């Protein structure tokens, strides 16, 4: 296979990563933007979404599409409920102090992860995709007769992967509309701008916080449900996406939706591309160092406003 088809393959895989990543990073970014706290347990909500999807799909049975649909509808709200519970029981009581919240969410990370280990076990388990047609992708080459199309071996994707990309686009648009066109979005933005003033205008800041924390976790869980037919559910699966979300949110600028999406595309696609050519470990080293240096020398992110 020539270089061209490799790049297309890397791009497609990268877009799938970017799709899931942008949902998850948006959740992290919303929580930080509105509540000014960093949720280190965010990756665990992604994992809980995937594990719940496995439970639900198994419990529903029948056609795979049925189980998956049930999981898609149920897992995110359940995860959001769990997150809101954590918000009420823990974060609210420590007054959303930024540093204590990090410590508390590290604790939550271990609690959620280890309870999953105790109940779900250490195995990785798959969920069957609702549809999964293989699609070959044609490529063009220059032959003596002129330009002609051919189907290189190994260059292809599945209908499900394309659906994940489409779903992410739809969901991101929906969140954007929610933020800009609804009363709820207005409450969120008002709270984000100035907590005290929002309170003075009788905005129920406590409830906004709880719901934003739930929404953030729900988005992560959605990412988990979408990814689980491609990548199996496992109790440690939240770790890498958490790191990548941090990277995306920091590069995109905390609290900025367009920045988050652009950075997710950048990271997802370059991650896909780099892993085609280099060792994934080296790619991760470069990416983590990049985040550190962005925070040190350009804390406002590459696109957004200064946030940390």
Give the residues lining the site for another protein (CB under 8 A): 38, 90, 93-94, 98-100, 102-104, 106-115, 117-118, 122, 243, 246, 250, 279, 281-282, 284-285, 288-289, 291-292, 295-297, 299, 308
Q: Smaller CB distance to another protein: residue 8 or 90?
A: 90
Taking the C-alpha atoms of residue 221 and residue 251, their distance in angstroms, rounded to an integer, is: 22
Q: Smaller CB distance to another protein: residue 13 or 44?
A: 44
Taking the C-alpha atoms of residue 264 and residue 62, their distance in angstroms, rounded to an integer, is: 35
Q: Minimal distance in Å, beta carbon 162 to another protein?
A: 32
Token readout for 2 is 């020539």
Taking the C-alpha atoms of residue 212 and residue 45, their distance in angstroms, rounded to an integer, is: 14
Q: Minimal distance in Å, beta carbon 280 to another protein?
A: 10
Q: Smaller CB distance to another protein: residue 272 or 301?
A: 301
Alpha carbon of 62 to those of 69, 120, 122, 140, 282: distances in Å?
12, 22, 26, 42, 43
Q: Smaller CB distance to another protein: residue 115 or 193?
A: 115
Q: Minimal distance in Å, beta carbon 22 to another protein?
A: 20
Taking the C-alpha atoms of residue 308 and residue 267, their distance in angstroms, rounded to an integer, is: 21
Q: Minimal distance in Å, beta carbon 95 to another protein?
A: 11
Q: Smaller CB distance to another protein: residue 90 or 276?
A: 90
- Residues ≥6 apart with Cβ < 8 Å to 57: 64, 67, 68, 70, 71, 127, 128
Taking the C-alpha atoms of residue 30 and residue 39, their distance in angstroms, rounded to an integer, is: 11
Q: Smaller CB distance to another protein: residue 117 or 166?
A: 117
Q: Smaller CB distance to another protein: residue 11 or 111?
A: 111
Q: Minimal distance in Å, beta carbon 147 to another protein?
A: 43
Q: Minimal distance in Å, beta carbon 36 to another protein?
A: 9
Q: Minimal distance in Å, beta carbon 245 to another protein?
A: 12
CB burial of residue 162 (10 Å; 0-12, 13-18, 19+): middle
Beta strands in 79-198 (DSSP E): 134-136, 139-143, 146-150, 156-158
Q: Smaller CB distance to another protein: residue 7 or 295?
A: 295
Q: Minimal distance in Å, beta carbon 105 to another protein?
A: 9
């Amino acid at each position: 296979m020539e270089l061209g088809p490799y790049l297309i393959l890397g791009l497609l895989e990268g877009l799938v990563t970017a799709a899931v990543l942008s949902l998850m990073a948006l959740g992290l970014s919303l929580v930080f933007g509105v509540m000014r706290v960093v949720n280190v347990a965010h990756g665990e909500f992604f994992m809980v979404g995937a594990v719940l999807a496995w439970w639900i799909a198994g419990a529903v049975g029948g056609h795979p599409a049925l189980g998956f649909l049930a999981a898609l509808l149920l897992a995110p709200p359940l995860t959001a409920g769990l997150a809101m519970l954590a918000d009420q029981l823990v974060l609210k009581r420590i007054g959303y102090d930024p540093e204590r919240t990090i410590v508390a969410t590290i604790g939550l990370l271990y609690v959620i992860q280890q309870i999953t280990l105790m109940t779900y076990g250490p195995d990785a388990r798959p969920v069957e995709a609702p549809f999964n047609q293989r699609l070959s992708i044609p490529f063009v080459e220059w032959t003596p007769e002129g330009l002609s199309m051919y189907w290189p071996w190994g260059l292809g994707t599945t209908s499900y992967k394309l659906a994940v990309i489409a779903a992410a686009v739809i969901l991101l648009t929906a969140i954007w509309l929610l933020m800009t066109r609804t009363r709820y979005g207005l409450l969120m933005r008002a709270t984000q701008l100035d907590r005290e003033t929002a309170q003075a205008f009788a905005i129920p800041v406590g409830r906004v916080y709880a719901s934003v924390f739930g929404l953030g976790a729900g988005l992560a869980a959605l990412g988990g449900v979408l990814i689980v037919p491609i990548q199996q559910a496992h109790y440690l699966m939240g770790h890498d996406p958490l790191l990548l979300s941090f990277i995306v949110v920091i590069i995109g600028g905390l609290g900025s939706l367009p920045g988050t999406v652009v950075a997710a595309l950048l990271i997802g696609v370059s991650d896909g591309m780099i892993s085609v050519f280099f060792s994934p470990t080296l790619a991760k080293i470069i990416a983590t160092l990049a985040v550190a240096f962005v925070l040190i020398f350009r804390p406002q992110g590459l696109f957004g406003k200064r946030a940390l």
